Structure 1
Amino acid sequence: MDILYNFPLLSAFLAMLIAQFLKIPLTFFATQKVDWSLFTSTGGMPSSHSAAVTALSTSIALEQGLDSSLFAVSAVLGIIVMFDATGVRRHAGYHATVLNQLLKDFNKLVEEVKTWQKKENEQKLKELLGHQPIEVFFGALLGILIAIVFNMVV
């Protein structure tokens, strides 16, 4: 199967997996709590999206050159993904924070007005959606480094 020898694809997936895994020890150092759910979550340090797209672009650049059309496509895709992570998705996370607070305040008001029981299965919006620019930067740097090291090893 040729897909198992696709260097850009493998380096992108490897970068994504490593970035997702790194979120666990980095969060542990900050909070002193192990949170294994970070391995499958969005947002946080480093950006696995940025790591994946930069590893992909770097691998394509190493294989096909910086003047290839494929590199141009992957670089533009990478820029869009990283811009989206620091822009739209990050602000959607801010909106989720505000909406969650409004819901909490509303439920508190309802409890004070009536003696209704609070639902246990209350669904909150996911707040950690996007990335701070520094998280995207380190994700991108990680992706480039992984692609270069992976290229030297393979």
Structure 2
Amino acid sequence: MQVIERIFFGNYILSVALISWLAAQVSKTAINFFLSGKFEAERLWGAGGMPSAHSALVCSLFMATAKLEGVNSPFFAFAFILAAIVMYDAMGVRHETGEQAKVLNRMMQGWMDGNIENILPKNEKMLKEKVGHTPFEVLSGALLGILIAVLIPVP
């Protein structure tokens, strides 16, 4: 237990990043509940949605690294590049994957509504559509992560 405590609570950068991720996931769940009127537990750990927890995590990571190590450190450079890659991927490849899932799900539903049997096995699930982010969702997550890193003081 002491090892876990030292890793998470003794490591400023890791703690800030995990707190930012958790704040984004809880916010995402609350926003989803407010908009849809139903609680979806999957939103607490799932990808996609508003705000981007991935963006919050990596932006708080680079901001906490900047505060602790300075912007001229190689650690900051690494954290910054990682953040850029993660956010680009969230808006690009992962967002397009979600859009394709929507189209495929509509096609499958249309075929199934037409009483064509055996298109999807009975136990098969629809494709997950919330896997990527819009630029606004990424920006919101990034700002949340940066804000949390700014607000949590370096010990």
TM-score by length of 1: 0.88
**1:148 equivalent in alignment to 2:133:** no
Structure with the larger helix share: 1
Matches of 2:24 and 2:138 in 1, distance apart?
11
CA distance in 2, matches of 1:34, 1:144: 27
Instruction: Please tell me whether residue 136 in structure 1 is matched to residue 138 in structure 2.
Output: yes
Give, in whole Å, the separation in 2 of the partners of 1:101 and 1:30: 22
Write the distance in 1 (CA, Å) between the matches of 2:111 and 2:36.
30
Establish whether residue 91 from structure 1 lines up as the match of residue 93 from structure 2: no
> What RMSD, in angstroms, separates the aligned Cα atoms of the two structures?
2.0
The CA distance in 2 between the partners of 1:99 and 1:35, in whole Å, is 23
Tell me the SS of whatever aligns to 2:129.
coil
Moved more, 81-90 or 34-43: 34-43
Q: Which has the larger radius of gyration?
A: 1
> 1:30 corresponds to which residue?
35
Q: Does 1:41 pair with 2:43? A: no
SS at match of 2:150: helix
Which residue is 1:3 aligned to? Answer: 7
Of 32-41 and 78-87, the range deviating more from structure 2: 32-41
Measure, in 2, the Cα distance between the counterparts of 1:32 and 1:102.
Answer: 27
Q: Structure 1: state its 5+ residue gaps.
A: none
- 5+ residue gaps, structure 2, are none
Q: Percent identity?
A: 40
Q: Any residues of structure 2 matched to 1:53-92 within 5 Å, and which? A: 53-92=58-97
Detail structure 1 runs of 4+ shifted over 4 Å in the superposition.
none
1:119 positional shift: 5.4
Deviation at 1:130, TM superposition (A): 0.3
TM-score by length of 2: 0.88
Equivalent residue of 2:98, what SS?
A: helix
**CA distance in 1: counterparts of 2:35 and 2:52, whole angstroms:** 17
Q: Partners of 1:27 and 1:102 in 2: how far apart?
A: 25
Q: Render the CA deviation track for 1:81-111: whole Å, top value 9, x for unaligned.
A: 00000111000000111111122222233x2
What are the Cα deviations for residues 12-70 of structure 1, in whole angstroms up to 9, with x where unaligned? 11100110001122122222222222101110010000000001000000001111111
